[in-house]
């Protein structure tokens, strides 16, 4: 696999002044994805799932083919277990509103981890507030692992466990299979936030035994505005709809309605077929590149970054020492410099990183900082880019008035 050939597929990367290291926020898109979306609108566009004419039927077929592609990508048992959503946030909210509010009661417990993104915290705060359930946090130890004592917060009272597969700040991968087993032994369901895992590693929802698995397309080469929720079919069938309206019904009378079969029961209104087609093209692209290459490239770039950090005394790393535990995410601070300043100075050299709380404020409080800088790399980034980034970092303190 030649990195030059890969980069040639990404129009935005042709401007070599820029180094894009904010892939955990959103990835870039290859022309194969852009063309798939454009082709849909140029050749097939009509409102899917409604019309009986050729274009509408074509749009429906393209949309449903994308669903099959997502199901295969995650190794779901059936495409009926895939609900298209706007993003991971909407997918988790769907579970909170349609499962959480109906299945949790006063005194029940929801267990999440301190590593969660706000999108996997706020929905559970809402469920706890509305049902009287109690929200509990598992905290990680100095090895960035959950001890048996923390895992024992999952008890007979636990009805739902919601955990991120990969942390968007620390980059570490959590032992989802083990957590799911513990949860299932106690009769709880498991919601996996797959926003940062799906782009970087082979995910097998049956192997990890997730009851619900949420992800966003835009972090894995697909357009913004398309994501999906995987859910075991029986759960979906038993859940009431999240949103109601057109296309999710079977029959409507003046006073009542019956709903369509899953997954359409959860897809109210005109669906985002164009971007679903883009997601299918993104999956094809990722499958062609292969997760072996993706993981190896991310590990190589992270190792280079971490080794350079060792020689810069004023850099604090938040995360594991081992490159392979980072999923391309390197979170850090530079002593004496606010991360926003670090990002702005790097921006003056066209280096794009993220700075702030990364929508994980409880985690940052647990770490003991208000904000950090974060470089997040994907398989199309290069060693030369890492070198330029590190050189840029070394200039930051000088720009801000320090001697070094």
- Indicate the pairing of strand 109-113 with strand 82-85: unpaired
The DSSP-derived string for 212-266 is EEEEEGGGGTSPTT-EEEEE-HHHHHHSPPSS-STTSEEEE-SS-EEEPSTTGGG
Shortest reach from residue 21's CB to ligand C6P, in Å = 12
Q: Does residue 24 belong to the site contacting ligand C6P (CB under 6 A)?
A: yes
Helices (H), 166-319: 176-185, 205-208, 233-238, 273-289, 291-310
Binding mask 144-163 for ligand C6P (x = CB under 6 A): --------------------
Among this protein's residues, is 359 annotated catalytic? Answer: yes
* Residues ≥6 apart with Cβ < 8 Å to 296: none
Of 299, 286, 305, 282, nearest to 353 by C-alpha is 305
Q: Which of 93, 216, 302, 343 binds ligand C6P (CB under 6 A)?
A: 216
Which residue's CB is nearer to ligand C6P, number 86 or number 397? 86
Which residue's CB is nearer to ligand C6P, number 59 or number 92? 92
Binding mask 162-201 for ligand C6P (x = CB under 6 A): --x---x------------------------x-xx-----
Q: Does residue 87 belong to the site contacting ligand C6P (CB under 6 A)?
A: yes
Q: Does residue 23 belong to the site contacting ligand C6P (CB under 6 A)?
A: no
Q: What angle do CA 209, 292, 206 make, to 5 degrees?
A: 10
Q: Does residue 114 belong to the site contacting ligand C6P (CB under 6 A)?
A: no
Distance CA 25, CA 21 (A): 9
Which residue's CB is nearer to ligand C6P, number 58 or number 223? 223
- Name the E strands within 94-235: 109-113, 134-138, 158-164, 189-193, 212-216, 227-231
Cis peptide before 263 (omega within 30 of 0): yes
CB atoms within 10 A of CB 124: 24
Shortest reach from residue 25's CB to ligand C6P, in Å = 3
Q: Does residue 25 belong to the site contacting ligand C6P (CB under 6 A)?
A: yes
* Candidates 359, 363, 393, 396; catalytic one: 359
- Indicate the pairing of strand 134-138 with strand 19-20: unpaired
Binding mask 31-70 for ligand C6P (x = CB under 6 A): ----------------------------------------
Give, as ranges, the residues between 346 and 375 that touch ligand C6P (CB under 6 A): 354, 358-359
Which residue's CB is nearer to ligand C6P, number 164 or number 382? 164
- Provide the annotated active-site residues: 359
């Amino acid at each position: 696999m030649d990195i030059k050939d890969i980069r040639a597929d990404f129009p935005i990367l042709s401007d070599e002044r820029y180094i894009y290291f904010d892939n955990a926020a959103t990835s870039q898109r290859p022309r194969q994805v852009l063309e798939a979306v454009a082709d849909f609108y140029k050749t097939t566009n009509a409102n899917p799932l409604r019309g009986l004419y050729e274009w509408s039927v074509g749009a429906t077929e393209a949309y449903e083919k994308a669903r099959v592609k997502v199901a295969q990508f995650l190794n779901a048992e059936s495409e009926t277990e895939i609900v298209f959503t706007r993003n991971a946030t909407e997918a988790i909210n769907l579970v909170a509103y349609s499962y959480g509010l109906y299945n949790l009661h006063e005194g029940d417990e929801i267990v999440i981890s301190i590593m969660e993104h706000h999108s996997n915290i706020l929905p559970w705060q809402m469920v706890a507030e509305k049902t009287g359930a109690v929200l509990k946090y598992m905290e990680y130890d100095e090895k960035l692992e959950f001890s048996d004592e923390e895992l024992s917060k999952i008890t007979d009272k636990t009805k739902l466990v919601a955990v991120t597969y990969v942390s968007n700040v620390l980059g570490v991968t959590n032992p989802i299979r083990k957590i799911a087993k513990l949860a299932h032994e106690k009769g709880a369901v498991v919601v996996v936030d797959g926003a940062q895992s799906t782009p970087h590693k082979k995910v097998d929802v049956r192997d990890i035994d997730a009851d619900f698995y949420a992800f966003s397309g835009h972090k894995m080469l697909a357009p913004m505005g398309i994501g999906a929720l995987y859910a075991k079919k029986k759960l979906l069938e038993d859940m009431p709809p999240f949103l109601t309206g057109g296309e999710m019904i079977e029959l409507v009378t003046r006073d009542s309605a019956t709903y369509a079969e899953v997954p359409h029961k959860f897809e109210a209104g005109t669906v985002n077929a164009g971007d679903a087609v883009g997601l299918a093209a993104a999956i094809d692209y990722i499958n062609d590149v292969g997760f072996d290459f993706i993981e190896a490239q991310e590990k190589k770039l992270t190792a280079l970054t971490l080794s350079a950090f060792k020689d810069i005394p004023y850099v604090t790393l938040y995360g594991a020492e081992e490159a392979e535990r980072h999923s391309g995410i390197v979170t850090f601070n530079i002593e004496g410099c606010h991360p926003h300043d670090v990002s702005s100075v790097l921006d003056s050299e066209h280096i794009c990183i993220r700075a702030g709380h990364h929508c994980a404020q409880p985690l940052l409080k647990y770490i003991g900082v208000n904000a950090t800088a974060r470089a997040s790399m994907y398989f199309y980034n290069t060693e030369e880019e890492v070198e330029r980034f590190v050189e840029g970092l070394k200039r930051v303190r000088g720009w801000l008035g320090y001697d070094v």
